[in-house]
Chains A and B, each alone.
Chain A
C-alpha cells in the first residue's frame, strides 16, 4: 500500500473515529444536562421521582442524599452517602463527610429531644468524627467548624484525670472521655 493510499484511508479512519467521539460527547452532554436539571429540582425540593441508578454521578448522589434527608428517609440517605464517601476530589469528599455529619447530628438531636440518650451518644460521636474528617480535608470549611462545635457542645469531651501512672511514654495510648451534657438552651 503506497503512502498516498495510506493517507487517504487514514483520513477516513480519523473521520470515523472523530464522528464516534462526537456522538459520545453529545450523549455525555445530554446526561450532564439531565443530571444537572435533576440536581436543581432536588435542591429546590420540587417533586422528584427518585430512581435507583447504579452509575449516577457523585454530585447527583450527594443531592439525592440531601433530598432523602429532607424527606426524613435517613437510612436511605446514609446508604447513598456511603456510596460516594471515597469518590471525587478532596473538596467533594469534605462535603460528603460534612453532610454525613449533619445526618448523624440531626438524628442525635432528635434522639435527645425524645430523651433517647443511649441512642444519641453514638450518633453524636459519629457526627463529630465525620466533621473532623471533613475539616482534615478542608480546614477552611466554616460550616463544618460550626457544626462540630454544636456537636461538641451537645457531648463535650473532657480530659482524663491525671493519675500517678501517667508518664510521657504512654501518652499516645491515653484515653479521653465524653460526658453527655445536653444544653437545654433558649428557644
Chain B
C-alpha cells in the first residue's frame, strides 16, 4: 500500500514538472486598473508581463494595432519593453486604450481579448489575453438641459496670456551682460572715479593737447608726472627694467620711452635746443600709446 502511494505521488510530481517544462510561457500576468468609474474620453492602461522560456519570442504583430479597435475604443499606444531573464525573455507590454462611449446610464463594456502569438523555431504557440469588463458612466443627465443659447454645452477654451517668462529672462540676461561689459569698458577708459590709475595718461594727454612746443618744460614734466604717478614712485631711465617688470605691457614702448628719457635728460641737463613741434608730436604720440595700453586696447 505504501508503495502504491509513493508511485502515485511520484507520477503526479513528474506530470506537474513535464507540464511546466513544456509551457512556452513561464509567467503570464495581466495588470488591470479598477473596473468602474470611467467616463467618456478616459484612458485605460493595461499592463501585461510575460516571461518566456529560452528560444521563444513574442510576435509583436499579434498585439492589437494602434488606432480604432471598434466604434468606441481606441488603442492610443502599445509599448513593448523586452529584457533577458534566465535565458528567456521578459516582456512588459503597456496598452493605452481610450474609450469614447457615451452611455445613457451606467453601462458595462468589454475590452476585447486577443491572442498573443509566440514563435518557437518554426512553430507558433499562442497565449490568450482575456476580455476585461468595466463600467462607464454618463456625464450629463438624460433630459437635455438648455440655457439661453439653446442646448447647454461647455464654453470655448479661453486663450491664455502669452507667457513672457523666457523673454524677461533673456532681457535680464542680455542687460546684465551689457552692463557688465559696459562697466568693464568704463573702467578701462577711466570713467570710474575710483579707478584713477586708468585715467593717468588720459589726463596727461588732455594737458599735452593744451601745450605748445614753446612749453617743452611743461610737456616733459607732464609726461614724467604721468609715468611717476603710474609707477607710484619716480621712473628713471636706468630703472626702466624694474618699471617694465611691474608693467610689462609698457615694454612694447621701450624704444619710445628710451628716447623720451634721453631727450628729457638732454633737454634739462645738457640744454639741448628745443627742436619744436617734431618732439612735441613724438611725446604726444608716446602719451597716446601709453593711453591705449592704459585702457587695454593695445
Contacts and interface: CB of A to CB of B under 8 A. Distances in A.
B249 to A, nearest CB: 7
Nearest to A42: B159
A36 B76 CA distance: 35
Interface string A91-111: 000010011001001100110
Interface in A52-84: 57, 59-60, 62-63, 66, 69
Interface residues on B, range: 35 or more
A14 B100 contact: no
Interface string B139-181: 1100111100011111111111110100110110011011001
Nearest to B168: A29
Contacts of B168: 29
Interface of A is mostly: helix
A150 B65 contact: no
Nearest to A135: B41
Nearest to B154: A143
A174 B68 CA distance: 10
Given A143-B154, A150-B153, A176-B71, A29 B146 contact: no
Interface string A10-37: 0110110011011001101100110110
A18 B162 CA distance: 24
Contacts of B74: 132, 136
A77 B139 CA distance: 28
B40 interface: yes
A4 B161 contact: no
A22 B171 contact: yes
A135 B161 contact: no
Interface stretch (B21-29, B182-190, B212-220): B182-190
B71 A32 contact: no
A26 B65 CA distance: 51
Given A149-B40, A186-B143, A18 B159 contact: no
Nearest to A110: B150
Given A8-B296, A12-B185, A15-B181, A135 B98 contact: yes
B61 interface: no
Interface of A: 2, 4-5, 7-9, 11-12, 14-15, 18-19, 21-22, 25-26, 28-29, 32-33, 35-36, 39-40, 42-43, 57, 59-60, 62-63, 66, 69, 95, 98-99, 102, 105-106, 109-110, 113, 132, 135-136, 139, 141-150, 152-154, 156-157, 159, 172, 174, 176, 183-187
24 contacts: A8-B295, A11-B181, A11-B184, A11-B185, A18-B178, A22-B171, A25-B174, A29-B164, A59-B159, A59-B160, A59-B161, A59-B162, A60-B162, A98-B157, A102-B156, A110-B150, A139-B43, A139-B98, A142-B154, A153-B102, A184-B144, A185-B151, A186-B146, A187-B146
Interface of B: 39-43, 65, 70-72, 74, 76, 98, 100, 102, 138-140, 143-146, 150-162, 164, 167-168, 170-171, 174-175, 177-178, 181-182, 184-185, 188, 249, 293, 295-298
Given A2-B298, A59-B162, A95-B157, 8 more contacts: A63-B158, A98-B157, A135-B41, A142-B154, A145-B40, A146-B140, A146-B153, A150-B140
Closest 3 A-B residue pairs measured CB to CB?
A185-B144, A63-B159, A21-B174
